[in-house]
Amino acid sequence: MVIELGLTQQASQFNEALDIKTAPATQKTTEETAQASKAPEQQGDTVVISQEARALAAAVKSEETESDSKDSDSKSTQEQLISSLEKQIEKLEEEIDELEESDLPEKQKQQQIQAKQAQLMQLNDQLLKAQQEQLELEGQVSGGGTSAQGFGNSLADF
């Protein structure tokens, strides 16, 4: 009997908590009353966007457009850099081939080839970095996926 009485009280409190109480009616703005008078047959919710909100939305949209154009500019300059580096690498490889076939003394030939190979390695490094930057601009990572944020590289970071 005591258990039933306790359960009954809890059930009634629960039912009271679930009752949805409507908020008191608020005054409508002139835009809302004008909208209601224009289309009284419509049912459902009406959303009115203020001028301030429209101005903020326009500002955000213009910032997105500017950032998109900056990204495309940086992509095109990155692509130009990559193609320029590739051309320089091809030219150096041709010069190395010519040096190998030249009639210079062996010691002098080896020194020039080594200097050209050092330049070639530097250009290859620059090309690799430029290609990685282009991948990052495109939202990719050289590992083939997208970058993860918020996690460390070792167990000590956890």
pLDDT given for residue 69 in this prediction: 58
Single-letter residue type at 80: Q
> DSSP letters of 9-70?
HHHHHHHHHH---PPPP-PPPHHHHHHHHH-TT--S------HHHHHHHHHHHHHHHHHHHH
Which residues in the chain show pLDDT less than 50?
none
The Cα–Cα gap between 105 and 20 comes to 97
pLDDT tens-digit map of 90-134: 999 999 899 888 888 889 989 999 999 999 999 999 999 988 888
